[in-house]
Amino acid sequence: GYIEENAIAYETWGNPSRLMDNTVLLHCGMSASSHAASTEENPDPGWWEQFIGPGRALDTDFFYIICVNNLGSCYGSSGPSSIDPKTGQPYGSTFPTFTIQDQVKCQFALLEHLGIDRIHASVGSSLGGMQALTAAALYGSRVKNVVSISACTSTHPGGIAFRQMQRECIMSDPNWNKGDYYSGDGPVNGLRLARQAGTITYRSGPEWQTRFGRTKVSNELVIGENFMIEQYIRHQGKKWATKRAFDPNSLIWMSTAMDNFTLEQIVPESGDLSLEYGMRDIMQPALVIGVQTDVLFPCWQQREIAKVLRKIGNQRVSYYELDSIFGHDTFLLDTVAVGGAVKGHLEQEPNGASHLHMDSARSASVLLGALWNKEFSADSMERLFHALAQNRGKVSIDEVSSLLYLVAMTMGEHCDKVTLEEILKYIKSLDGNNDGMLSKEEFMSLDLTFVCSRFCHEST
């Protein structure tokens, strides 16, 4: 099937480099939005809040992170709850089924729209980890590194069974109405039960033993009301249903795509399905992480990813198996083991971040020279613009502000009171289009004399 209009929601952190080759494509899990970390526009904590920012796993000092909401979701990208322009009503049951490959193709269509040809890394966990591998397989020459956490090469029967149970909870609710429920209450009770079933697969028995044990909430023997773990599972379902945190159809459509996922392809010569053939283009440095207590994506599946990659000749495969007690949700919680491994993989050579460090240093030196020598003529400003913008035609406000701040710090005692917020506020005042970028004309209006006099003391 097809839809005539396809919306793609995304959020970004950090600044694009001149060649935009510092982009990290962060893939979402099934129920996640594109809001992976807080921003000035949306200060609410994101689902990977502790992994994104200066010095963190996805280091915004060097990388430009883009998180795309999935096709089929309900957080801005097109999905069953979106309005069909033909009818003016939500798609509901008429929204076409899709594959994980379709989701990744939508993400790369966005990258093309943004003018990004090659990305530094494809990073994801769970469904996002499947997408990360798919991106590397489909667009091998455009992905420099790949990180896949708690994912698989093909969905196994155990995972399919878990997700079918969730779908059945929703579809057995009379208010589901075969997916056309948007004019009524919807399958709230089914969504509650589906979330309870899902919660069982997201964490682990060892964690619950440590966290709850056999602690009782009642001194009497009551049906379904005896143990704290029962109370916890029930609370998770009720919270999701009460807040209407996720569209039930989105869960059904996306979980169906997950169940049908495989990287296998037919070998033309033999007609046989082959993982090795389907993954033949994943030759980038690859980080694969599994968790021993994960029941949804057991760690033998991550071992299989690493094994196949090595079998096809990828000699830059790192595989880590964590003994975390947090099960499948480890990728959300373990900033030390998961975060450290991701950061190391993205920044180490080959295909690391040394060129980004050098690029930042070169840009800073250009600005430092202009400020120190007070070269503020029109010709000097034009040369400075082209040095920063290169072939982009614009420069990022965040990049200019950060570089000015870095230069100010380099000038030491002469700029000891400057703050990044002050510089950013001034640079933003020049942005006539409010698009976060400065055109050549806007950059030429930048008064570096004002910057020196406002933010720095004259040297004595």
Catalytic sites, residue numbers: 126, 294, 328
Distance CA 227, CA 40 (A): 42
Distance CA 22, CA 260 (A): 32
Q: Taking the CA of residue 138 as centre, how many other CA atoms within 13 Å lie in the half-sphere pointing to its CB?
A: 19
Given a contact cutoff of 8 angstroms between Cβ atoms, the answer to whether 207 and 327 are in contact is: yes
Distance CA 57, CA 60 (A): 9
